[in-house]
Structure 1
Amino acid sequence: MADSETKNCRGLRWALIGSVTLNLLVAGVIVGGFVAHDRHPPRPVVGDVSLGAFTEALSPEDRDALRRAAQKRGGDFRDMRRAARADMTALIGALQADPWNRAEVEKILARHKARTIERVDIGETLIFDRLEEMSPEERHAFAERLLQGAQRFDKRVEHDDDRPAKP
């Protein structure tokens, strides 16, 4: 009888150890989730506003302001991404068709072009709005950074032009 009580105690002990371990794992996952969320919050709807040559010339504050303005239009960008994914699927299907349908591919590429133009138009509106909010000093500093970026680009192009052509 003492032998069966010892086995029951051992079984109960292992069940208790397993329960505590499982509870600690669950607590660790929950605490880890909170810590990770604070360190790495969810991605915003608009990750970064890219305006070509303007992007590097903008101050960090201007980029943040543009990002916030773009996030207010988040639905526009989300809808464009969904449409782009759907069109990519359609384009792949149209290209894999045998014989392929040129008219269908042209329609898909025309929708892609229209979306690209719409994104450029939104970016243009955002940059104009931001420029209007800048003080004259901020605009001059932006223009100076834009000039420096253009000069770096020109030097890089000149350097690339001096290289011999690859065979």
Structure 2
Amino acid sequence: MSDEDKQGNVGMRRSLKILLAVSLGLNMLVIGAVGGMMYHGGPTGGAIGARAASFGPFTRALSHQDRRQIGQAMRDELGGFRENLPKVRAGFTALKEALSADVYDSVLVHRLVKQQQAAGLKRYQVGQRLLLERLDEMSQKERQTFAERLGRRHR
């Protein structure tokens, strides 16, 4: 294989790595937007409304008070968005540096991506647990109201 062929393959791998980093960045922006919405208490607390949240129809079907309570419980358990932002930025910086390095360290990149995935998964799992706990606490009438809101189209 000629040097040009080898460089072409390396270039493709590098572009895929950059694409992965961009994709990861977009995922973290979504997580940040959801965290910001939860931090500010839902749709009336800030610029990002519940409809823009990526938690989907279950979050939108909750009452404003339930969203605020779940958001506060998440902040209590996981820390606030602003508290976590330096760690998120550090993870992105480390990943960007690893992807830009002259010598690609596959083990490091895999570890950094898995760390970011684990943080997102933990946030998702805590949110899901808190939602289920709230559903378990609801009265029959509250659950029926939730089910009605869940069944409506939110557009």
Return the alpha-carbon distance in structure 2 between the equivalents of residues 79 and 104 of structure 1: 25
Aligned to 2:4: none
Over the aligned positions, Cα root-mean-square deviation in angstroms equals 2.9
Runs of 4+ in structure 1 off by over 4 angstroms are 76-80
CA drift at 1:143:
1.3
Aligned residue runs from structure 1 range 20-31, under 5 A: none
Whether 1:137 and 2:153 are equivalent positions in the alignment is: no
CA drift at 1:60:
1.2
Return the alpha-carbon distance in structure 1 between the equivalents of residues 108 and 140 of structure 2: 50
Aligned to 2:24: none
In structure 2, relative to structure 1, the CA distance for the partners of 1:104 and 1:48 (3 Å cut) is farther
Give the TM-score of the pair, scaled to structure 2: 0.58
Higher relative contact order (CA 8 A, sep 6+): 1
Q: Say how many residue pairs are matched.
A: 109
One-letter amino acid matched to 2:76: K
Return the alpha-carbon distance in structure 2 between the equivalents of residues 71 and 117 of structure 1: 15
Is the 1:44–1:71 Cα contact (8 Å) retained in structure 2?
no
One-letter amino acid matched to 1:126: L
Aligned counterpart in structure 2 of residue 54 of structure 1, from 58, 61, 76: 58
- Structure 1 unpaired stretches of 5+: 1-42, 154-167
Whether 1:106 and 2:99 are equivalent positions in the alignment is: no
Return the alpha-carbon distance in structure 1 between the equivalents of residues 88 and 70 of structure 2: 23
Is the 1:46–1:71 Cα contact (8 Å) retained in structure 2?
yes
Aligned to 1:68: 72
Return the alpha-carbon distance in structure 2 between the equivalents of residues 65 and 76 of structure 1: 14
CA drift at 1:76:
7.3
Is the 1:57–1:145 Cα contact (8 Å) retained in structure 2?
yes
In structure 2, relative to structure 1, the CA distance for the partners of 1:137 and 1:59 (3 Å cut) is same
One-letter amino acid matched to 2:130: L
The percent identity for this pair of structures is: 35
CA drift at 1:68:
2.6
Aligned residue runs from structure 1 range 1-167, under 5 A: 46-48=39-41, 51-75=55-79, 80-149=84-153
Q: How far does the alpha carbon of each residue in 1:62-101 deviate from its partner, in whole angstroms, 9 at most, with x for none?
A: 1122123223225376665443221111001011111322
- Structure 2 unpaired stretches of 5+: 1-35, 43-52
In structure 2, relative to structure 1, the CA distance for the partners of 1:71 and 1:87 (3 Å cut) is closer
CA drift at 1:115:
0.9
